[in-house]
Amino acid sequence: MKPQNIEDLSFQIIDKEAGDHGFDSLKWPIVRRMIHTSADFEYIETVRFHSRAIDAGIKALKKGCSIITDTNMAKAGIRNNAQCFIKDEDVVKTASDNNLTRAEAAVDKACDIMEQGIYVIGNAPTALLRLIDLIKTGKAKPALIIGFPVGFVNAAESKHDLIEMDFPYISNVGRKGGSNIAASVVNALIILTEGGQY
Domains of the chain by residue range:
3-194
CA distances to 42, 100, 157, 159 from 164, in Å: 21, 24, 11, 9
pLDDT class for 2, splitting at 50, 70, 90? confident
Just list the catalytic residues.
36
Q: Report whether pLDDT(132) > 80.
A: yes
Phi and psi at 43, nearest 5°, equal -60, -25
pLDDT of residue 14: 97
pLDDT of residue 1: 80
> Fold for domain 3-194?
Rossmann fold (3.40.50)
Q: Report whether pLDDT(75) > 70.
A: yes
Q: 3-state secondary structure string, 47-90?
A: EEECCCHHHHHHHHHHCCCCEEECCHHHHHHCCCCCECCCCCHH
